[in-house]
């Protein structure tokens, strides 16, 4: 095949794998966007409250994604190797670990929700609203873990449609619940921010239950088995740990970063939440879809014993991301202000939100390249390189550079804009070097040999 024909073939497979992920992410992102729109009808303080609470709410998200990263790496490799017994055990173990890992968040929410928001420097009314929302979200943390891990486990087998069907229904329920309970439409009570939290919690429970039933029945290729292989447990944790650490470190970095934003005023913090939400709504689904697809194609290529194909398909997916997400980022830069007007009419918030959206538009090519390459490395069981890339970028640039230039050197919010952009440029460079020069292919082969996948049929 010619280079062009080979590339187009990869793009077709990536799109066939990623479009269901994109579809569900459109609604997932729309759900979060609806949360912001509804809370913006209350006040800028409500937007800040839900944004600050989301800093903590990302912790179970990061752990679920981390465990899901380990599950998708092992399940994609073992699917390519036709090692179904190992694949099913990895899926079962990942889900069980997810349930256990969610219990501490339930306890934290019951005991420390409101003080956790107040310690960030939030005013009393913001801390009260944010604490209430956080408590509701943390009560369903185990279900959130199960939903994330089970979805990525199935995606690793090449089944991206089952998670899509379930998540589409869940997100529609969530969106409807947010509008109905948040605004008190029809027979529903007007619960405002409490209603927004309840809608999200119900969505988490529905998704987890439906995915467990799909795996337990004959709906999917995967199934539950009794855990026995300790090598699979070890490898699952080894691959997942850097992903979890990456997510937690990024979340930790968001705390001082949001404190920097709050130092410039509540309107700036709210504007950041809105500007980032606009970017995530228009590009996030594509980026997430390409990331999942790159993990699957690279992992399955390695499972079939073809590392050269794995490398080519990883780079081809990056090219697809640049063409699509990079182009959308350029459009976002040009039409940022009309888009953020959908979220707020407050003049100071509107001005800053448009600028944040433009910054994310400029960062789009670097961000999608990082996400896709990180997914490719994950398919090869290398989660350490993305961990270093993202963690160092967050602390060096989003926090360090933003504070030094924006606060210390008194350049204001301009320093924050530059810090965001530099973070993604740095992270892309690190994972690009890791994918080009790293030994992830041989590492994945050795791990398959160790857990017995190489000899299973």
Q: What is the model's pLDDT at position 453?
A: 63
Quick check: 410 and 265 in contact, CB under 8 A? no
241 or 36, which is more confident? 241
User: In whole angstroms, what separates CA 282 from the centre of its chain?
Assistant: 15
**Token duo for residue 162:** 């089952």
Instruction: State yes or no: pLDDT of 66 exceeds 70.
Output: yes
Q: What's the whole-number mean pLDDT along residues 58-76? A: 91
From the number of C-beta atoms within 10 Å of its C-beta (0-12, 13-18, 19+), residue 5 rates as exposed
- Percent above pLDDT 70 for the chain: 99
Q: Are 246 and 391 a contacting pair, CB within 8 Å?
A: yes
Contact yes or no for 88/150 (Cβ under 8 A): no
> pLDDT per residue over 302-343, tens digit each?
999 999 999 999 999 999 999 999 999 999 999 999 988 887
Of residues 48 and 306, more confidently modeled: 306
pLDDT tens-digit series, residues 185-239: 888 888 889 999 999 999 999 999 999 999 999 899 889 998 888 899 999 999 9
Instruction: Report pLDDT for 110.
Output: 94
pTM, to two decimals:
0.84
Q: Are 303 and 381 in contact (CB under 8 A)?
A: no
Helix (H) or strand (E) holding 34: helix 3-40
pLDDT tens digits along 70-85: 999 999 999 998 888 8
Rounded to a whole number of angstroms, the distance between the first and last alpha carbons of the chain is 30
Residue-averaged pLDDT of the chain = 91
Report, as an integer, the average pLDDT of 1-8.
90
- Calculate ∠ Cα 440-90-233, nearest 5°: 80
pLDDT value, residue 55: 82
Q: How far apart are CA 382 and CA 352, in angstroms?
A: 38
DSSP 271-323: HHHHHHHHHHHHHHHHHHHHHHHHHHHHHHHHHTT-HHHHHHHHHHHHHHHHH
Between 225 and 455, the higher pLDDT residue: 225
Please state the φ and ψ torsions of residue 242, each to the nearest 5 degrees: -65, -35
Rounded-to-integer distance, Cα 269 and Cα 125, Å: 16
Q: Which helix (H) or strand (E) holds 104?
A: helix 84-118
Closest residue by Cα to residue 388 from 370, 376, 400, 372: 370
Flag whether pLDDT at 415 surpasses 60.
Answer: yes
What's the burial of 409, exposed, middle or buried (CB within 10 Å: 0-12/13-18/19+)?
A: exposed
Q: Once rounded to an integer, what is the mean pLDDT over residues 44-73?
A: 88
Say whether 149 sits in a helix, a strand or coil. Answer: helix
Using DSSP, state whether 222 is helix, strand or coil.
Answer: coil
Contact assessment for residue 103 and residue 59, using Cβ atoms and an 8 Å cutoff: no
For residues 17 and 288, is the Cβ–Cβ distance under 8 A? no
Average pLDDT over residues 405-415: 93
- Looking at residue 307, its pLDDT comes to 95
pLDDT band for position 457 (cuts 50, 70, 90): very low
């Amino acid at each position: 095949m010619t280079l062009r024909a080979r590339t187009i073939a990869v793009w077709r497979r990536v799109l066939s794998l990623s479009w269901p992920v994109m579809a569900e992410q459109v609604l997932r992102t729309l759900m979060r966007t609806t949360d912001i729109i509804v809370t913006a009808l209350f006040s800028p303080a409500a937007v800040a409250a839900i944004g600050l609470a989301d800093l903590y709410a990302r912790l179970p998200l990061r752990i679920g994604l981390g465990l899901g990263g380990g599950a998708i790496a092992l399940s994609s490799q073992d699917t390519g190797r036709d090692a179904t017994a190992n694949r099913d055990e990895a899926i079962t173990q990942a889900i069980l670990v997810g349930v256990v890992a969610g219990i501490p968040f339930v306890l934290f929410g019951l005991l420390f929700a409101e003080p956790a928001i107040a310690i960030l420097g939030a005013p009393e009314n913001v801390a009260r609203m944010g604490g209430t929302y956080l408590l509701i979200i943390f009560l369903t943390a185990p279900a959130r873990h199960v939903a994330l891990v089970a979805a990525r486990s199935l995606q690793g087998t090449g089944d991206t449609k089952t998670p899509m069907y379930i998540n589409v229904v869940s997100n529609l329920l969530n969106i409807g619940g947010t509008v109905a309970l948040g605004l008190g439409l029809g027979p529903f009570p007007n619960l405002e921010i409490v209603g927004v939290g309840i809608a999200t919690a119900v969505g988490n429970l529905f998704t987890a239950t439906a995915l467990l039933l799909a795996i337990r029945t004959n709906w999917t290729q995967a199934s539950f088995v009794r855990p026995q292989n300790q090598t699979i447990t070890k490898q699952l944790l080894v691959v997942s740990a850097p992903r979890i650490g990456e997510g937690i470190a990024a979340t930790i970095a968001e705390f001082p970063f949001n404190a920097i934003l709050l130092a410039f005023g509540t309107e700036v913090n709210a504007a950041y939440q809105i500007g980032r939400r606009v970017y995530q709504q228009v590009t996030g689904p594509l980026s997430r879809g390409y990331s999942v697809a790159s993990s699957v194609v690279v992992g399955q290529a390695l499972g079939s014993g073809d590392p050269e194909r794995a490398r080519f398909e990883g780079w081809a997916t990056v090219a697809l991301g640049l063409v699509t997400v990079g182009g959308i980022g350029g459009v976002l830069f040009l039409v940022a202000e009309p888009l953020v007007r959908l979220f707020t009419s407050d003049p100071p918030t509107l001005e800053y939100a448009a600028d944040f959206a433009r910054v994310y538009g400029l960062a789009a090519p670097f961000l999608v390249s990082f996400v896709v390459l990180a997914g490719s490395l994950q398919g090869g069981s290398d989660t350490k390189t993305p961990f270093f890339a993202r963690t160092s970028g967050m602390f060096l640039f989003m926090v360090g550079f933003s504070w030094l230039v924006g606060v210390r050197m008194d350049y204001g919010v301009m320093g924050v804009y530059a810090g965001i952009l530099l973070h993604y440029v740095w992270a892309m460079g690190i994972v690009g070097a890791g994918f080009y020069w790293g030994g992830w292919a041989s590492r994945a082969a050795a791990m398959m040999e160790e857990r017995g996948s190489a000899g299973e049929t």
